């Protein structure tokens, strides 16, 4: 709980022999600490069980683990071995080495993609000419969106967020409406995906430690268990029914000028409208300021490529109606948005225009990610329970 008290302060100053009074407003913040529980040692090995209470490492909210997902993480900040070996063999020139490395990495994106000549006719930049639909010759862990970035498996968790903390992390999972022709979306607020390293586990003696409308429907208190909350059959049925729309499979990361962007795409389903199929995806984006200087997101620039051959450019101020500030006290911002295509596959990439507190502006890269559809059961519909 935070209380704000406004104070007026009178300061006397002597300027050129004349005494003047300057009144300044000062706001003081008083925070009341509330006991939540006792922190446990985070797990290095193994997974957290259903019912594990935790604090989020980045956002600080209270949550509870529902079930794990095993995802492939494509981190463009971790160079491939072949890339590093190639860079070592490049003759050093302090004026051109960065350009050479940049060109080399971009040229790798042309492996198994459309021809350069075709791209030039389309007026596309070299580094945007990526065909994610041609299979790479290597194993399935390689990201098919451009540059070969080998994916590593990593554990994430489906979690519930305490409704008392939801005002500070507005996150929800959205579903398509149950009507085939409907374009409406409905959301389950307070549902998030959390990486294993972002879990700070804790214990409590409370039987109702978390406030969320689904907590009692999904979990039951077992005093002799550790953790003392276990899955009800309702949770298992909900997970099975909504598995195609909840499943987390690929996570993409890239850092520019100490700002890391993480993207997680989700397929939502297909809707038929007058013999036209419209495929929907949700994508969750987190921005993290890893540096010391405050930065603010000013603009977004998206490129959306559809398997049907269309290329769309989207520009605008901020994201979801905001221009978030990433500071040392609030270094991260997360939001979700949606995209639809009249094709079963596509991919997206782009940049965020960022402004630092010293006035320096730069384009923060959004890692390219695939939009892949899944086969659907015609009788299946998404739902809460």
Residue 367's CATH number: 2.60.40.1470
Q: Check whether residue 222 and residue 274 sit in a common domain.
A: no
**Following DSSP, what letter does each residue of 67-127 receive, concatenated?**
EEEEEEEEETTS--HHHHHHHHTSPP-TTTHHHHHHHHHHHHTTTTS--HHHHHHTT--GG
User: Which of the listed residues 247, 262, 288 is the one where a domain comes to its end?
Assistant: 247
Provide the pLDDT for residue 171.
67
Range with the poorest average pLDDT among 151-155, 166-170, 304-308? 166-170
User: What are the CB-based long-range contacts (under 8 Å, 24+) for 77-80?
Assistant: 77/253, 77/254, 77/255, 77/260, 78/149, 80/148, 80/149, 80/150
DSSP character at residue 319: B
Nearest to 90 by CA among 79, 101, 99: 101
Most confident of 267-276, 314-323, 372-381: 314-323
CB 78 within 8 A of CB 253: no
- Say if residue 150 is exposed, middle or buried (CB neighbours under 10 Å; 0-12, 13-18, 19+): middle
Q: Check whether residue 230 and residue 288 sit in a common domain.
A: no
Q: Check whether residue 56 and residue 186 sit in a common domain.
A: yes
Q: Is 318 left (phi over 0), alpha (psi -120 to 50) or beta?
A: left
Q: Check whether residue 242 and residue 271 sit in a common domain.
A: no
103 domain residue, yes or no: no
Provide the pLDDT for residue 112.
35
Alpha helices, DSSP H, located in 205-295? 215-218, 233-246
Q: Check whether residue 281 and residue 236 sit in a common domain.
A: no
CA dihedral sign of residues 61, 167, 353, 115: positive
The arithmetic mean of pLDDT across residues 288-308, rounded, is 96
The arithmetic mean of pLDDT across residues 93-103, rounded, is 34
Query: Which tokens go with 325?
Result: 């500030």
Q: Check whether residue 174 and residue 289 sit in a common domain.
A: no
CB 252 within 8 A of CB 283: no
* SS3 of residue 149 by DSSP: coil
CB 52 within 8 A of CB 66: no
Q: Check whether residue 213 and residue 300 sit in a common domain.
A: no
Per-residue pLDDT tens over the stretch 335-359:
999 999 999 999 999 999 999 999 9
205 domain residue, yes or no: yes
Per-residue pLDDT tens over the stretch 356-370:
999 999 999 999 999
The percent of residues above 90 in pLDDT, for the chain, comes to 51
Q: Check whether residue 345 and residue 294 sit in a common domain.
A: yes
φ, ψ for residue 3, nearest 5 deg: -110, 140
Between 173 and 328, the more confident residue is: 328
- The pTM (predicted TM-score) of the whole model is 0.72
For residues 355 and 365, give the distance between their C-alpha atoms in angstroms, rounded to a whole number: 14
Query: Which tokens go with 238?
Result: 């909900």
- Domain holding 214, by residue range, is 35-80+149-247
94 domain residue, yes or no: no
Is the peptide bond preceding residue 344 cis, with omega within 30 degrees of 0?
A: no
Q: Check whether residue 155 and residue 237 sit in a common domain.
A: yes
Nearest to 365 by CA among 144, 105, 162: 105
Average pLDDT, the chain: 76
Q: Check whether residue 243 and residue 253 sit in a common domain.
A: no
User: Which of the listed residues 247, 263, 284 is the one where a domain comes to its end?
Assistant: 247
The arithmetic mean of pLDDT across residues 160-171, rounded, is 80
- Write b or e for each residue in 169-185: b if 16 or more Cβ atoms lie within 10 A of its Cβ, otherwise e: bebbbbbbeeeeeeeee
For residues 100 and 82, give the distance between their C-alpha atoms in angstroms, rounded to a whole number: 16
pLDDT at 4 over 80: no
315 Cβ neighbours under 8 A, 6+ residues apart: 299, 300, 301, 302
CA 22 from centre of chain: 46
The arithmetic mean of pLDDT across residues 1-27, rounded, is 42
Q: No. of H helices and E strands in the chain? A: 5, 21
The arithmetic mean of pLDDT across residues 11-26, rounded, is 42
288 domain residue, yes or no: yes
Most confident of 115-119, 148-152, 219-223, 350-354: 350-354
The arithmetic mean of pLDDT across residues 59-68, rounded, is 95
Q: Check whether residue 354 and residue 306 sit in a common domain.
A: yes
327 domain residue, yes or no: yes
Q: Check whether residue 253 and residue 368 sit in a common domain.
A: yes
The arithmetic mean of pLDDT across residues 370-384, rounded, is 64
The arithmetic mean of pLDDT across residues 148-161, rounded, is 91
268 domain residue, yes or no: yes
Domain count, the chain: 2
| pLDDT band at residue 182 under the 50/70/90 scheme | low
User: Which of the listed residues 199, 224, 247 is the one where a domain comes to its end?
Assistant: 247
DSSP character at residue 142: B
12 domain residue, yes or no: no
324 domain residue, yes or no: yes
């Amino acid at each position: 709980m935070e209380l704000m008290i406004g104070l007026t302060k009178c300061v006397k100053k002597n300027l050129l022999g004349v005494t003047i009074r300057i009144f300044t407003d000062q706001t003081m913040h008083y925070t009341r600490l509330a006991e939540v529980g006792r922190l446990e040692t985070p797990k290095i090995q193994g997974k957290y069980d259903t019912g594990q209470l935790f604090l989020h490492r980045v956002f600080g909210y209270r949550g509870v683990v529902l079930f794990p997902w095993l995802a492939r993480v494509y981190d463009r900040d971790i160079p491939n071995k072949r890339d590093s070996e190639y860079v070592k063999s490049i003759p050093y020139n302090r004026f051109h080495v960065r350009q050479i490395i940049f060109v080399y990495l971009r040229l790798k994106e042309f492996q198994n993609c459309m021809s350069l000549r075709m791209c030039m006719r389309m007026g596309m930049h070299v580094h945007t000419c990526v065909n994610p639909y041609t299979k790479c010759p290597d194993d399935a862990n390689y990201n098919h969106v451009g540059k070969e970035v080998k994916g590593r498996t990593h554990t994430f968790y489906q979690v519930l967020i305490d409704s008392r903390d939801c005002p500070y992390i507005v996150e929800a999972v959205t579903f398509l409406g149950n009507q085939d022709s409907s374009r409406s979306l409905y959301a389950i607020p307070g549902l998030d995906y959390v990486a294993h390293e972002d879990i700070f586990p804790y214990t409590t003696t409370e039987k109702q430690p978390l406030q969320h409308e689904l907590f009692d429907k999904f979990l039951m208190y077992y005093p002799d268990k550790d953790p003392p909350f276990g899955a009800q059959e309702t949770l298992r049925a909900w997970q099975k029914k909504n598995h195609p729309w909840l499943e987390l499979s690929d996570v993409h990361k890239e850092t520019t000028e100490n700002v890391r962007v993480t993207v997680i795409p989700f397929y939502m389903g297909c809707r038929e409208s007058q013999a036209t199929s419209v495929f929907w995806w949700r994508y969750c984006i987190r921005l993290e300021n890893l540096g010391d200087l405050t930065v603010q997101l000013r603009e977004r620039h998206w490129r959306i490529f559809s398997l049907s051959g269309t290329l769309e450019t989207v520009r605008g101020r901020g994201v979801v109606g905001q221009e978030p500030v990433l500071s040392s006290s609030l270094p991260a911002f997360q939001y979700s948005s949606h995209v639809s295509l009249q094709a079963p596959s596509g991919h997206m990439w782009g940049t965020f225009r960022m402004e630092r507190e010293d006035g320096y502006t730069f384009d923060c890269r959004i890692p390219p990610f695939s939009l892949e559809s899944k086969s659907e059961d015609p009788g299946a519909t998404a739902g809460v329970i």
